Homo-oligomer: A and B are copies of this chain.
């Protein structure tokens, strides 16, 4: 057996297209509403339509694009209704994730990383670097999902976070302020460390629901019907 074959890392065209398109959607290079025929996308990525198509199907399953029968692929825009639906689900799922994390032995490196994120976020806030703070905030939520030990739960939370990623960014930038008490994050962290399942779960839940209210307010005041 060859010495190093733990990571498959086969790097196929489909994977390549998938990763690139996903990254472009998440960072806003391909904005919501962007639409293009498959041949165009394929040409841009330098490959034939087949792998692009397969990547698009995966992205559609993850709720990032819409494949319109004879219209091409469209990057999904997020409406207020979408945000409500997603945040409601996230509130429960993140609550569960924190509960599970608090009820088990979370790998030490994860806890350290979480703590590091917390202090970095504090710094960013002091320096009024909202952009950076938002990034750290998002990262914290993703990391929490990884502490729960339930791989499906983790994947589902990450998928939902991806779907609202741009909306979060846009609205936060618009608001130029944190979406909710940054303090919640520390409370969640402490609850996990101390094994306080109920408290952690409830803080995570209400944190997300408070975030929903903020988002609704921002959407309203910005007049944007979708993001």
Q: Interface of A with B (CB < 8 Å)?
A: 8, 10, 50, 53-54, 57-58, 61-63, 69, 82, 84-86, 88-89, 92-93, 95-96, 100, 150-153, 156
- A86 → chain B closest CB, angstroms: 6
Contacts of A10 in B (CB 8 A): 69
Q: How far is the CA of A53 from the CA of B51 in the complex (A)?
A: 11
Establish whether residues A89 and B96, one from each chain, have CB atoms under 8 Å apart when the complex forms.
Answer: yes
Contacts of A86 in B (CB 8 A): 152
Contacts of A88 in B (CB 8 A): 96, 100, 150, 153
**CB within 8 Å for A151 and B85 given contacts A57-B54, A58-B61:** yes
Contacts of A54 in B (CB 8 A): 53-54, 57
Q: How far is the CA of A152 from the CA of B96 in the complex (A)?
A: 18
Establish whether residues B153 and A156, one from each chain, have CB atoms under 8 Å apart when the complex forms.
Answer: no
- A79 → chain B closest CB, angstroms: 12
Contacts of A57 in B (CB 8 A): 54, 57-58, 61
Contacts of A85 in B (CB 8 A): 150-153
Q: How far is the CA of A82 from the CA of B150 in the complex (A)?
A: 9
- A17 → chain B closest CB, angstroms: 13
Please tell me which one of the listed residues B53, B58, B69, B156 contacts residue A89 in the complex, with CB atoms under 8 A apart.
Answer: B156
Q: How far is the CA of A95 from the CA of B6 in the complex (A)?
A: 39
Q: How far is the CA of A151 from the CA of B100 in the complex (A)?
A: 26
Contacts of A92 in B (CB 8 A): 92-93, 95-96
Q: How far is the CA of A152 from the CA of B83 in the complex (A)?
A: 11
Contacts of A62 in B (CB 8 A): 61
- A160 → chain B closest CB, angstroms: 8
- Most chain B Cβ neighbours within 10 Å, of A82, A92, A93, A156: A92
